Amino acid sequence: MINKKQPKKVLLKRGRIIDPFSKKTFIGDILIENGKIASIKKNISSKDKNIFRIDCKGLVVTHGFCDIHVHFREPGREDKETLESGSIAALAGGFTQVCTMPNTNPPIDSPEHVYYIKSKSNTLPIDIFPIGAVSLGQKGEELTEMLIMKDNGAIAFSDDGIPIQNAQFMALALKYSKMTNLPIINHAEDIYLRNEGVMNAGPNSNNLGLKGNPSLAESIMVYRDLALASSLGARLHIPHISTKDSVGLVKLFKSKNKLITAEVSPHHLYFCDDDIVDFNTNLKVGPPIRSKSDRKKLIEGIKSGIIDCIATDHAPHTIEDKETTFNDAEFGMIGLESCFGVVNKVLVKDNGMSLKSLIEKLTVNPRKIMNINRDLFAVGEKAQITIFDPNEKWKFSEKNIYSKSSNSPFIGHDLVGKVKYVFSKDSFFTL
C-alpha cells in the first residue's frame, strides 16, 4: 500500500543527501514548503508543530528517478496498463518522471495524441512525457508531424517495438528530428536477420529447440543508425542495448559524435540466456536476454559511461499473453517496481560501481538525454525526491507490484536496495 500525504511543510532530517547535479554529498536536511525546495543544509531546525518530519538517518535522499523508456498501454490496452496505473508503478520504483513509448493502439502518431497524454499527465502523481511516433501508424513509411508534435509536448521520436527497416526513411527521420532538436530512438533489430527468433541465438536456443535471434540482428542496425546519425550530425539515442558488439560500436561512434547516447535495461544487466532453462515466458523480451559475455560487456559499458543511463522498458502484458508457449508469448516484462533493487544489486553490490554513479544513471543522465531540467535541488524548484535504503535486502514479490500486469521475471528474486519514500507533485508518498 502506498500512503499519500499532502503536508504544507515537510522536513527531511539527517539523510545522506546525494545531489547528482551539483555533485555534492553530505549528511543533512531538506525543507519542502508548498511542494517546493525551501532549503537544503546540514541542519535545519524548526519549532513549527505542523511540520511533517521524517527521520532519514541511514537513508539516501536524492533526485526523483527518471525512466525514459516505459510502455503504458493507454489508449487501447487499458487492461494491461493505464497512464494512472503506470504512474503508481513508477512511484513505487522511485520514479517521478517517465517517458512513454508511442506503441499504443492507436499509436501516438499525431499532435492530438501527444496532447492527450501530456494533459492527462497533469492529473497524475508523476510527470509523463510522451515520445511521439516517427512514422504514421508506426508503419515506417510516412513521417509524422514532428514539429507540431514537439509543440504539443513530444519529448523524442520513436517507433519502439517496431524497428525502422528502411535506411533511407531513417535518414529522413534523423534530418527532420534535427529541426526539432529532439532525439530519434530506433528499436535496433534487423527483422530479416531476427528471422522470428524468440530468444538469443546460441547453444541455449539450440538446446531448448527455440528459434534464435542472433546478436548481429541488433548490432548491424546499431551500426547503420550510428553511421547515419554521425554523417548527418543528428541526435540518436540507442534504446535497450543488449550485445557486446553494440557497446563497442557506441564507444567508437561516441568519439566522433557528441549527440549519441545509449541506455541499458535492468533485465539485460541481471539475466543471461543460461537463465532461460524452464521456458519462463517472463524472460521473453525484445531484444532478447543475451549471453553471459554480452551481459559482462553491458555491465562494463554502463560502469565506464559508454552507456549513459538505465531505462526499464517496462512492458506490461496480460496473463493470457504470457501463460502460453514460449513461441506464442508476447515480448516484454514489467520493470519499474523492481528496477532500483535490481541495478543496485548487480552494479553496486556485485560489480563495484559507486552508488553516486548509479544515481547519475537514474537521474541527471536520462534527463540530459531528454533535455529535462536536472537541477532538482535548487531552492524554489518543485520538489522531486526519492529516498531509499541502499542496503535493505528484500525478496521481490507480487505484493510489490502496482502495475496492472505482473509479468516480471524478478518475482522470487532477492534484491538489495529499497525505495522508502518519494516526494512528487506536492505529495509525500510512503511506500
Residue ranges that bind ligand DOR, judged by CB under 6 A: 71, 103, 160-161, 187, 285-286, 315, 331-332
CB-side neighbour CA atoms (13 Å) of 111? 8
**In whole angstroms, how far apart are CA 387 and each of 30, 53, 373?**
12, 14, 20
Selecting among 313, 321, 375, 426, the annotated active-site residue is: 313
CB atoms within 10 A of CB 348: 19
The answer for residues whose C-beta is within 8 angstroms of residue 7's C-beta and 6 or more apart is 50, 51, 52, 428
Query: Distance (Å, rounded) from C-alpha 193 to C-alpha 411?
Result: 32
104 three-state secondary structure: coil
- For residue 255, count CB atoms less than 10 angstroms from its CB and return exposed for 0-12, middle for 13-18, buried for 19 or more: exposed
Radius of gyration of the chain, Cα coordinates, nearest whole angstrom = 21
Nearest to ligand DOR of 103, 200 (CB atom): 103
**Looking up cell 508469448, which residue turns up?**
329
CB-side neighbour CA atoms (13 Å) of 235? 18
Q: What is the DSSP letter of 371?
A: T
Q: Residue 243 has which C-alpha cell?
A: 550485445
Nearest to ligand DOR of 76, 305 (CB atom): 76
Query: Distance (Å, rounded) from C-alpha 89 to C-alpha 73?
Result: 13
Contact 431, 2 (CB under 8 A): yes
Contact 349, 368 (CB under 8 A): no
Query: Distance (Å, rounded) from C-alpha 62 to C-alpha 43?
Result: 17
Closest residue to ligand DOR using C-beta atoms: 332
β-pair partners for 373: none
Query: Distance (Å, rounded) from C-alpha 158 to C-alpha 167?
Result: 15
> What's the angle, vertex CA 134, arms to CA 133 and CA 137, rounded to 5?
60
Contact 154, 114 (CB under 8 A): yes
Contact 382, 372 (CB under 8 A): no
Q: Residue 5 has which C-alpha cell?
A: 500525504
350 is catalytic: no
39 φ, ψ (degrees, to nearest 5)? -165, 145
Contact 423, 383 (CB under 8 A): yes
For residue 22, how far is the Cα from the chain centroid?
23
Nearest to ligand DOR of 86, 286 (CB atom): 286
Catalytically active residues are 313
